[in-house]
Amino acid sequence: MSAITVIHARAALLGREPVAADTVQVVGVDVQVEGLDAITGIGPIGKVKIPLKREEGKRYLDWSWEAVGNPDSTQTWTDDDAEVELQFYSSVTAPEAFFFRVTFSPVVWIRPSRPIPFDEVFSEWVEPLRRIVSLATGRKEKITYLAVRLADDGGSRLFQVFGTALQQAPYSSRGNDVLKVERSFLLSPEDMSLLDLLRRWQQLRGEHHPLLETYGSMMFAPEQHPRSRLLLLLQALEGMHGHENAAGFAERVTKHKERRESALAEAAETVSAGVLRFLKTHLSRRPPTGLQQVLGETLTAVPVDVTEDLGRSALVTEVMVDPRKPTNSYDALRLVRNDLAHGARGYDAQAVHDVAQLLDGVVRAHMLRILDCSEDAQRRDQERRRR
């Protein structure tokens, strides 16, 4: 019986000359992502001149149309280890007597100070860029162009990169398309640094921040059923809360253990051996924590407090009359989470979806916060998600 081997390549490089896979060292990355033009704060055209009427004494068409480039639209950010530049490639139609057009395409250049492995291009630069742009636009943006420059005897060679999630279909910007996008933040010298955002994403990824490993990793997943989506969002908030309050919780654990040992020592003097064994087995070594507390702190820590909206939702309204008697909206959501996670009960999909939408805005606001985006950016994103 013959064996079958299946090989799944990470990507294919297309260039003028072949390159050995074990020698690939990247010295530059050229990448375009949908929505880049929407989040730049400076456009490539500074001013235009459009003739509106014939000047006195001139013949028809004895005039010119003019577009003046804006050098400030090229934005560059540097640190000790890399340079990142956002610029607009220009394209001009071939000379002819009947048609003339100039177009601009946004491209990000990434130039690390040292050659980096090919996998690092994706994990540290390209995917973070795509997710940051998507976070700003609120859409699932695609990589429309990617090329890498490989080290070659003191110089570099350019290779286009082809893969499953790479469109290789560069686009030119159109003003009407840009105006349709609601942006949480803009990239500009006065607003946000793209390199700072990328560095922050890399740092959070390196420390395994729960928001990046839950919500961040699912940003481009196919649309989920509201049940799965709600559970993921609650998990993301719990993980973030635990991560950011780890020091305080560790102190609580220490005090709880001390109190537990003291209580067991006192009980040993008065209860039977069987009862003492029961207490040792079932008295937790960690202090109690709950989703109710997590929601109370995370939902009120963002610019737009959605607690009232949550209380008015059909899902919470239904659960508030439950025989288990939840004390508030957060407690009601705790019961919903337990029911869904353990399969004890189901809920109307639309009602679950509406609550998930509220929580999605909260999680996204926290994502922007941990990326050091402004409170205004967080608020804009939440308000966009509530519409």
Average pLDDT over residues 9-25: 71
Give me the chain's average pLDDT, please.
Answer: 87
* pLDDT, tens only, 58-101: 888 888 888 899 999 999 999 999 999 999 999 988 888 898 88
The per-residue pLDDT for 362 is 96
Contact 360/283 with Cβ under 8 angstroms?
A: no
Average pLDDT over residues 137-149: 93
The per-residue pLDDT for 288 is 59
Residue 2 confidence (pLDDT) above 60: no
The per-residue pLDDT for 144 is 95
Residue 6 confidence (pLDDT) above 60: no
The per-residue pLDDT for 286 is 64
Select the more confidently predicted residue: 268 or 177: 177
d(CA 9, CA 353): 37
Q: Which amino acid is at 350?
A: Q
φ, ψ at 381 (rounded to 5°): -65, -45
* pLDDT, tens only, 40-58: 989 999 999 888 777 787 8
The per-residue pLDDT for 251 is 65
The per-residue pLDDT for 5 is 46
* pLDDT, tens only, 199-228: 999 999 999 999 999 998 888 877 889 999
For residues 234, 235, 238, 242, the Cα torsion angle rounded to the nearest 10 degrees is -170
Residue 152 confidence (pLDDT) above 80: no
SS3 content of the chain, % helix, strand, coil (to 5): 45, 20, 35
Average pLDDT over residues 258-285: 78
Average pLDDT over residues 172-193: 89
The per-residue pLDDT for 58 is 83
The per-residue pLDDT for 235 is 93
The per-residue pLDDT for 140 is 92
The per-residue pLDDT for 189 is 80
Q: Which amino acid is at 292?
A: Q
For residues 383, 363, 121, 204, the Cα torsion angle rounded to the nearest 10 degrees is 130
Average pLDDT over residues 363-371: 96
Domain limits, the chain: 12-46+71-206, 226-244+290-386, 251-289
Q: pLDDT band at 260, cuts 50/70/90?
A: confident
Q: Which amino acid is at 145?
A: Y
d(CA 307, CA 298): 11
Select the more confidently predicted residue: 58 or 308: 308
d(CA 336, CA 341): 8
Residue 4 confidence (pLDDT) above 60: no
Average pLDDT over residues 162-186: 89
Residue 312 confidence (pLDDT) above 90: yes
Contact 366/302 with Cβ under 8 angstroms?
A: yes
Encoded tokens for 189 = 């010298």
The per-residue pLDDT for 28 is 93
Average pLDDT over residues 234-260: 77
The per-residue pLDDT for 261 is 78
Q: pLDDT band at 359, cuts 50/70/90?
A: very high
